[in-house]
Amino acid sequence: YSYYNENTILYFDGEYLKATEAKIDLYGQSLHYGYAVFEGIRAYKTEKGEVKIFKAMEHFDRFKRSCELIHIPYNYNNEELVAACYKVLELNNMEEAYIRPLMICPPNMTLKAASESHLLICAWEWGAYLGEKLLRVMTSSYQRPNPKAFQIESKSSGLYVNSILASQEAKQNGYDEALLLDINGNVAEGPGANIFFEKNGKLFTPPPGNILPGITRATVIELARELGIPLEEKLFTIEELKQAESVFYCGTAAEVIGWDSLDGQTFPKPWTESLGKLLQQAYKAKVLEKEFKREAKVA
Ligand code: PMP
């Protein structure tokens, strides 16, 4: 997969440059120590034919907080950064795209916090990240990082080595994706997505604390409320999850994606009849700014 070509334009520190010509210094903390922060945002072509970035301000608010949590200077106005994202889409003639802001620290090999930072915003066309098929998930042998050892609510680059290890392990074992537990053995999240399960007409998801507070997660909670679906944030174990009727992951890249099985054990409710499927449709309608009505007979 090529993320850019000779015509691709990106934003770097207030300028719009060719991706093939933009440069960063190789002697930096971001590259050497993973001391950088990123976001993942999606743009959609709405029902009216407009290009809209979904929850752009929420993503930049999290971006800012992620930087602050690990002491990377953030000297930007979020309205301007949202405008820069639209400009990148326009310059590349992109309508449906994944947008990646990345805050990079300048050359410095010490372990001191950065005193300046540089901002890249690039975009590429990306379909369904985890595909459309139901996921065969494996409980990872890797835990999510200890919240006392890291600012785990900061979407920091270095943290994603953990995600890569977990995803890789799952794929090597013939699964589609991993599920990671927290340091206490409760279910936390996927390598790049939050988890929900359905049981007795109700949805459950882990509370903030040991997870990345996903913007899609917040949207799913909002949609569940609008649709009158009861929902509870609580900690739960793998054993409890294995008693679920159906399960799904959600994230900006993955959107809402159902599970087939966990460690080879399938879930009893057909996806098409699940609350997850209903929320998948409601989510799709929301990002496309389409009206969504829950049909009389559901789940
Ligand atoms: N958890 C992790 C570890 C992630 O990387 C992501 C993707 N950013 C999510 C959850 C989902 O977050 P969001 O819905 O904001 O994309």
Pocket test for ligand 1, best of 60, 150, 163, 194 (most atoms within 8 A of CB): 194
What is the spatial distance between Cα 78 and Cα 59, in angstroms, rounded to a whole number?
10
Q: What is the pLDDT of residue 297?
A: 52
Q: Which atom of ligand 1 is found nearest the CA of 59? A: 15
pLDDT at position 164, please? 98
Mean pLDDT by 10 residues, the chain (299 residues): 94 97 95 97 96 98 98 96 98 97 96 95 86 93 96 97 98 98 98 98 97 98 97 98 98 97 98 97 97 70
Please tell me the pTM assigned to this model. 0.96
Measured between alpha carbons, how far is 185 from 183 in angstroms, rounded to an integer? Answer: 6
- For residue 286, what is the enclosing H or E element? helix 275-287
CB distance 186 to 237 below 8 Å: yes
Enumerate residues lining ligand 1, CB below 6 A. 40, 189, 192-194, 212, 214-217, 251-252
199 labelled catalytic = no
Ligand 1 centroid–CA 296 distance in Å is 32
Q: In the chain, count H helices and then E strands.
A: 7, 16
Looking at this predicted complex, what is its ipTM? 0.99
CA-218 nearest atom, ligand 1? 14
**Distance between CA atoms of 115 and 33, rounded to whole angstroms?**
16
Find out whether 179 and 195 touch, Cβ atoms under 8 Å: yes
Tokens encoding 51: 């290009």
Q: Which of 18, 48, 148, 155 is catalytic?
A: 155
Domains of the chain: 9-124 (3.30.470.10), 135-287 (3.20.10.10)
Nearest atom, ligand 1, residue 253 CA: 16
pLDDT for res 239? 98
Residue 296's pLDDT is 55
Cβ(18)–Cβ(251) below 8 Å: no
Choose among 263, 207, 258, 208: nearest CA to 239: 263
CA-angle at 171, arms to 208 and 256, nearest 5°: 45
Q: How far apart, in whole angstroms, are the C-alpha atoms of residue 248 and residue 256?
A: 7
Cα separation of 44 and 99, whole Å? 11
Quote the pLDDT of residue 153.
Answer: 97
